[in-house]
Amino acid sequence: MMKYEIVAFYKQEIEEIRECAENIGRLYGWRYRCEKIPGSGKLLSACMGEDSVLCLLKRKSYSFYRLMKYVYALNKPVLVLQDHFSADTFQQLKIPVGYLKENKEKGIWANFLQRHHPGCRIEIIVPREKDEHIAAMVRNNLAFMERILKHSEARYEVVNEEKSFEKSLIKVLQDLSPGITLMMRPFRLFPFYYPYTVRLYRKHARSEVLIIPRDDSLYIPCH
């Protein structure tokens, strides 16, 4: 397999992040590199290499505003680590299925991560939406994820919730059991405006979250 690279950012001392990066690199068989985070989010892209596939940030090292500034400046998935991070965290990937089409990318990333760490489990959390149009969009995203995972013979489980996507997301974010929640990075129109799911993350996140930027190359613009 191709050797990918993890870029772990630290605020002041490399010890803030090195052990986490080392453990994750060993688990996936990837290289890791620790970088002091630049003062400007615009300089972050210069820290990324051709094989960089994942970035690490420690939640407690930054204010929420600063954390989101970095998350939105990076065009790679960002794993935001809590203090209680352990190797067991990577044994389970949790995918709350939303209705926006970019939610399909969660399935692609979960499949990619499980291929490099076959021991982990994937849990797909399906909300119950009252609006039939929204429910149909959720079913469409779920069907796409299952096709991807079945084709790769991935291990996964579908869990049906009796609540909306937003309420399901809150429940997963508050869950302290080991696992990583996959969350799409929503489009932000203004720098001072945080989309609803980001505000939910700010208020409720107690566990590790992988924030994934939308890959625009996967979508065909409609004119």
Tell me the CATH architecture of domain 5-80. Answer: 3-Layer(aba) Sandwich (3.40)
Give the per-residue pLDDT at 43: 85
Cβ-count burial of 76 within 10 angstroms (0-12 exposed, 13-18 middle, 19+ buried)?
middle
- Taking 80 as the threshold, does the pLDDT of residue 197 lie above it? yes
At 84, is the pLDDT very low, low, confident or very high (cuts 50, 70, 90)? confident
Structure tokens at 160: 């049906």
The mean per-residue pLDDT over the stretch 62-72 comes to 93
> pTM here?
0.92
Q: Which residues contact 121 (CB under 8 A, 6 or more apart)?
A: 91, 92, 93, 155, 156, 157
Task: Give the H or E element holding residue 115.
Answer: helix 104-116
Sequence-ordered list of residues with C-beta below 8 angstroms from that of 156, at least 6 positions apart, any chain: 110, 121, 122, 123, 124, 146, 149
At 160-169, the pLDDT tens digits run 999 999 999 9
Section 56-68 average pLDDT: 93
* Per-residue pLDDT band at 190 (split at 50, 70, 90): low
CATH 3.40.50.20 range(s) for the chain read: 5-80
Distance CA(160)–CA(143), nearest Å, equals: 14
The pLDDT assigned to 162 comes to 94
Within 111-187, strands assigned E span 121-126, 156-160, 180-185
Per mean pLDDT, which range of 52-61, 172-181, 209-218 is the poorest? 209-218
What is the tens place of the pLDDT at every residue in 8-45? 999 999 999 999 999 999 999 999 999 999 887 778 88
Q: What is the mean pLDDT of residues 129-142?
A: 96
Q: How confident is the model at residue 216 (pLDDT cuts 50, 70, 90)?
A: low
> Is the predicted pLDDT of residue 68 greater than 90, yes or no?
yes
Lowest mean pLDDT among 58-72, 146-160, 176-190: 176-190
pLDDT for 11 equals 93
Looking at residue 49, what DSSP letter applies? -
As given in the structure block, the two tokens for residue 146 are 């299952």
85: phi then psi, degrees, rounded to nearest 5: -60, 140
Mean pLDDT check: name the lowest of 122-126, 152-156, 187-191: 187-191
In the chain, residues under CATH classification 3.40.50.620 are 87-210
Q: Report which of 104, 99, 184 is spatially closest to residue 138, judged by C-alpha positions.
A: 99
Model pLDDT, residue 40: 76
Q: For residue 126, give the nearest of 164, 163, 97 by alpha carbon.
A: 97
pLDDT band at 193 (very low <50, low <70, confident <90, very high): confident
Q: 138 and 93 in contact (C-beta within 8 Å)?
A: no
**Residue 83 corresponds to which tokens in the numbers above?**
């203090």
What is the homologous superfamily of the domain 87-210 according to CATH? HUPs (3.40.50.620)
pLDDT at 54: 95
